Amino acid sequence: MPPEVARGQALTVLHTFAPVSGPAATNTEGANPSGGLSWSGGTLYGTATYGGGWGRGTVFAMDANGGGFIAAHNFTGGSDGANPLGGVTLSNNTLYGTASAGALSGAGTVFRVGADGTGFTSLHSFTVPVNDSFGFYTNSDGAYPQSGLLLWGNTLYGAANNGGTAGRGTLFAVGTNGTGFSTLHGFSSGTAGAYSSAGLILLGNTLYGTDYGNLGQGTIFAIHTDGAGFTNLYAFTSGHLNGNGILTNSDGANPRAKLILSGNSFYGTTAYGGISGQGVVFGVNTDGTALRTLHSFAAGGYNASGLFTNSDGANPAAELILSGSTLYGTTTAGGSSGNGTVFALDINGTAFTNLYNFTATPAYPQPQTNSDGANPSGGLVLSGYTLYGETASGGSWGNGTVFSLSFAPRLTIIPFGTGFRLTWPAKAAGFDYTGFKLQSAPAATGPFTNIPGATSPYTNFLAGAQRFYRLSQ
């Protein structure tokens, strides 16, 4: 018989967002999730940008096994806001987040809601931006926040993508009870940075973040929690346009994702730039020196559906996660079908692995559907040997999915003489399988016992009663 070869991973669609209907495109659960997931005690929390009872998006919760899905809050577009893009931050059974639109001004909100959907409170409604006669819409506090929030003590820190005194976005702080709102910084223009759609991280009393730029290609910045000492730590280089009109450079351009910290370095992604213009993964010292391009996403071409395809993915827009010495992330586009990928990369820039290519979607009709989802734009979460994430589109109804990608080690069974040979990996995609033991049992239901000294490859000759085998920690 042919060998039963184990794949390195198995993707499971945990939830497919339901179809929408009517002029407001409503449903019971939301559509087009974005901003990444939060994890607590086997429950996943997130935001859907559209859909829900009013067509203005939802906050949702679901079990990590795919059951128990609830829309914890349906945005109305009124005082609670509309169209959340940044996911949620969980603390003590309370979820905190931003809505990119809605409220009386239409400029978005900061909100909190119980993990069970009770007690929704709008903590801050951004004020109406006004045309300053130069074409920029300005105000005192910012407008249209797209990123998630950082919670430290009783204070939430975040970024508004637009508004502020120059109309190019702000950094802000607000108490978890809605008091004490303050504008920490207003972005200006050029190499000073503008338009931050990424969340913030905290080191000591200093906040760090990225913006995707205006006249420049974006920056990495630092600012004290009291708003003092704003510093641009690194400005991505200008680069040049290649023969296809795509901006290319050595270090990337237009970062849209939150940084992560490990040791004395930040790690992040840029949506564009790099050798082929399809974005990069980078590392940089916390003082902004010694930026390293760890991976530059590859060049490619366009398929019959008009989607850009390549070997490894393109245009990453979500934060990375780190486990051991391996970074994990997603790309919104590229890969074999043009619908994005999940990838792994060693922290020193070696051993890049394309872990999963999301499957193709037809060009027509809309919405674009497939079996697993398309265009993952949110960050991943990791539990054990399983990554969890979401896609903004695709799935059975074209409204996105929540998925898991398992890397638990699997046995490969190969006929060998009058018996068979079992093999299993020592590690894969950054996951170390030290501690797994080969076990056998007389029946599929057990009882299973360790096979003393069994290592890969393990050979068994067919003799006596049948045996069942598994790997177990």
Cα–chain center distance at 357: 15
Nearest one of 48, 49, 153, 46 to 91, comparing CA atoms: 153
Q: In this structure, what are the phi and psi dihedrals at residue 370, rounded to the nearest 5 degrees?
A: -160, -170
Nearest-angstrom CA–CA distance, 104 and 81: 8
Dihedral angle, C-alpha 168, 171, 174, 179, nearest 10 °: -50
Q: Where are the beta strands (DSSP E) in 198-298?
A: 201-203, 206-211, 219-224, 231-235, 240-241, 247-248, 260-262, 265-270, 280-285, 292-296
Nearest-angstrom CA–CA distance, 391 and 339: 10
Parallel/antiparallel/unpaired status of strands 449-450 and 458-461: unpaired
Cα–chain center distance at 300: 23
Domain coordinates of the chain in residue numbers?
10-406, 412-472
Spell out the residues 6+ positions from residue 114 whose beta carbon is closer than 8 angstroms to its own.
72, 93, 94, 95, 120
Place of tokens 């910290």: 261
Nearest-angstrom CA–CA distance, 365 and 374: 15
pTM exceeds 0.95, yes or no: no
Q: In this structure, what are the phi and psi dihedrals at residue 324, rounded to the nearest 5 degrees?
A: 65, -120
Nearest-angstrom CA–CA distance, 227 and 157: 11
Q: What is the DSSP letter of 211?
A: E
Q: What pLDDT sits at residue 462?
A: 67
Nearest-angstrom CA–CA distance, 274 and 347: 18
Number of H helices, E strands in the chain: 0, 42
Beta bridge pairs of residue 356: 342
Cβ proximity of 327 and 319 under 8 Å: no
Nearest-angstrom CA–CA distance, 378 and 413: 36
Cβ proximity of 424 and 403 under 8 Å: no
Q: What pLDDT sits at residue 5?
A: 33
Cβ proximity of 108 and 137 under 8 Å: no
Work out the burial of residue 348: count CB atoms within 10 Å of its CB; fewer than 13 is exposed, 13-18 middle, 19 or more buried.
Answer: exposed
Beta bridge pairs of residue 10: 406
Grouped pLDDT means (10 residues each) for the chain, 473 residues? 44 97 97 96 97 98 97 97 98 97 95 97 97 89 97 98 96 98 90 89 98 90 97 94 91 97 97 97 98 98 93 97 97 98 96 96 86 94 96 97 94 86 90 91 93 90 78 89
Q: In this structure, what are the phi and psi dihedrals at residue 360, rounded to the nearest 5 degrees?
A: -70, 155
Cβ proximity of 460 and 471 under 8 Å: no
Q: What is the DSSP letter of 21?
A: B
Cβ proximity of 303 and 284 under 8 Å: no
Q: What pLDDT sits at residue 463?
A: 65
Nearest-angstrom CA–CA distance, 55 and 19: 12
Express each pLDDT in 247-287 by its tens digit: 999 999 999 999 999 999 999 999 999 999 999 999 999 99
Q: What pLDDT sits at residue 8?
A: 46
Which amino acid does the sequence have at 442? P
Name the CATH architecture for the domain at 10-406.
6 Propeller (2.120)
Cβ-count burial 240-256 (b if 16+ within 10 Å, e if not):
eeeeeeebbbebbbbbb
Nearest one of 95, 127, 126 to 111, comparing CA atoms: 95
Dihedral angle, C-alpha 261, 264, 267, 272, nearest 10 °: 140
